[in-house]
Structure formats: C-alpha cells, structure tokens
Amino acid sequence: MGFAKAAPMIHPTEMSRRQLTVFVLILGALTAFSAMSIDMYLPAFPQMARDLKVPLGTVQLSVSAFLFGSAAGQLFYGPLADRWGRRRPLLVGLSLYVASTIGCAMVHTGGGLLLWRVVMALGGGAGMVISRAVVRDLYDTAEAARMFSLLMLVMGLAPILAPLAGGQLLLLTGWRGIFAFLGVFGLASLLAAALALPESLPVERRIRRSASDMGRVYWHLLKNRHYLRYALALGCVAGVNFSYISGAPFVFIELHGLSPQFFGVFFGVNACGLIGASQLNRRLLRRHTPAVIARSAFLVAGVAGVLLIAATATGLGGFPLQMLFIFVCLCMTGLLYPNITALALAPFDKAAGSASALLGTIQYLLGASGGALVGAFHNGTALPMTGTMALCGTLGFLAVLGAGHSKVHQHG
C-alpha cells in the first residue's frame, strides 16, 4: 500500500490515556467527514452558483449527490473491511476523498461539481463505515454506546464550527478555498490513521467473500428482525436531522427574519444541545440499558414533534416555542445515535464491517428522503419541516418498540 506501518493491534484496556485520546480523536474525525463535507460549504451556495453560471438549485443538488453517494459507497467498504481488515480500505477511501476535494476546488461546471461530490462521498464513506466497525470490534454493547457518545463529542463540533469556518474562508479565499481546506482535513486524517490507528480486526476473524457472498450477507442482515428495526430507527433519527438541516435556512431566515449571522448562532445552539445529550448518555448508561434509553428518547422526540406541529399550525407561542420543541427533538438525537448504533451492531462479530456499511446506507437513504420530503412539500410555511421531523420521530419510536433482543451472529 505504501503507507506507514500500522500501530500494533491493541485492546482498549491496554491503551494509555494518551493512546485512548488519540484513538478517540481519529475516530471522531472519521465520523465527522459527512458533517464537514456538507456544512462547511453551505454559506458558499450563492457564490458558487454565480461562478459556475448555474441555478442555485444545481448547487443545492450537490448535497443530495453527496448523501446518495455516501449511501451507495458504504455498501462496498463493509465487505472489504471484513476481508482485508479495517486499515487498508480506510486508507484507500481517504486517499480518494483527498483527490476529490482537488477536483471540487478546480471544477468549472455544474455537472462537474455533482460528479466530484459523488466521488467525495465514495471516499468519505470509508471513514463512516470503518469507525463504527472498529468500535464494534473492540467493545461490547454498553461500552460501544459509551464510545459512540464520546465520538459524538468530537463529531458534534462539526455542525458548529464548519459553517462558521466556511463563512470565514469564503471571505478570505472564495468557495474554492473551502474545498482546499477539506482536502487538508482529509490529508491530516489520512496521515493520522496511517500512523496511529491500530488494526482492530485480527487475521483469524477476517472473511473472504465473492460478490455473490456479499449479496447474501446483506440479505441475511435485512432478514434479521433485530438489525432491520434498529437500522430503520437510525434512519428515522437521520430523517429528523436532515429534515431540520433542509428546512432550517428557510424557516429561520426567510420565515422568521433572522440574519445569516444569527442563523449560525441558532444552528450552533442546537448542535450544542445534541452534544450535551450525547455526553449525558454516558452517565445514563451506568443505570440503564441502551434499549431503554433509546425507547425513552424516541418517545420524548415523538411527543415534542407533535407539539411542534401544533405550535407551527396555530402560531401559539411564536418562534420561541417552536425553537424550544426543535431543540428538544435535536437533543434526543444525541441520545439516539450512539445507543441505536450500538444496538444494531451488537449481534454481529465477524460481519461487523458489512453490518456497519448497510446501517450507514439505510441511515443516509432515509435521512436524504426526509430532507427531500421537506423540499417536495414546500408551501411557504414551517409545516413541511416540522411535520417531517415529527413523522420521523414517531416512526422511529414504533421501530424500536418492535426490536428483539440481540444474539451474536457469525456471517461467514
């Protein structure tokens, strides 16, 4: 491969505090690729449309191109990671990501932008799949949920810092500089993974599969009632978030008259709530199981979503009350992401990479569909956004209610 030799395989209990910190930072950066790649260039949309001489809708479509590219690309990394270990597919994917940022920075057509955004998603998907698989390799269900909560502390900074950094880079370098920065971020992550990320999948647990074998593994996963219900639930959580991301600029700026600067502040406050809830989850796990926390959080999110629709439809309480219910919904996703991810992957040992890949694909497909619903039903009010958030929260609660108990499966 030509990359630096991996750090030796190590068990979490054998890590020093410094090694654990580096480990968490690397995995946190890998999980943040999606948020960084989407949120950082949002302030540049008008300038990109002017420079590329395309409608603003074409630039907006590049977000969907990234989401659907991520959904498709993750399917390939899972089986590769189960066969070759976690590091090699990760390093290849990160290299592809760095190359794609150069392509985005040099593009001169709308079609070229969409193409390179798909390539960027295909590369960045490696980090999202393999970071989850590494955690599953090393931790049991409850400990994995704690680790995913810790990773959200790192990952959650992206929605806060990325739009702010993107806005500043837009002033200093133009929109092409934003993609150059993402290239530097990708390269730094590549070097850190190459030098300091230990291989978590021993050779004796690796599985060689043909293309038809890969298809059968995914089919077995989809037939697993426990896995499918938690995967659908995670997709509903993503639906809540992407509905909010898609609708918030219109609702906050156009409908309620907030300036773009204050929009960034409100966006950051909600992201802080999500981070805070994810860290509260680590304490809750000392007394409650991930399944109990997930069901309770979905119940709260569903109730808050229904109240949000009522407040939106009646105007009662105005924008402050709507913001309160939106904040509650987003805080609940901070409890849901780590617990549902851990619960979905818990039954799988050897097939953790494939299970992580399909989990990410379902998450992104349903999340992107939630965002698309907001645009499809746009009617000049906040109802499309708030209604979709409430719908996703309710469907997610129904999904986790029917999820069974986990048993470890070995798909070979």
Each residue's pLDDT tens digit, 178-218? 999 999 999 999 999 999 888 888 887 787 766 667 788 88
* Dihedral of alpha carbons 96, 101, 102, 106, sign: positive
pLDDT for 407 beyond 70: no
Could you give phi then psi for residue 263, rounded to 5 degrees?
-60, -45
138, 11 in Cβ contact below 8 A? yes
For residue 378, the number of C-alpha atoms closer than 13 Å in the C-beta half-sphere is 13
Which residue, 111, 242, 250, 162, is CA-closest to 170?
Answer: 162
pLDDT for 11 beyond 50: yes
pLDDT for 84 beyond 70: yes
SS3 assignment, position 151: helix
Higher-confidence position of 277 and 159: 277
What does the pLDDT read at residue 4? Answer: 45
> How far apart, in whole angstroms, are the C-alpha atoms of residue 53 and residue 201?
48
Cβ neighbours around 86 below 10 Å, total: 27
What DSSP designation does 349 have?
S
> How far apart, in whole angstroms, are the C-alpha atoms of residue 188 and residue 199?
18
Residue type, 71: A
Residue type, 151: L
User: What average pLDDT does the segment 127-132 reach?
Assistant: 88
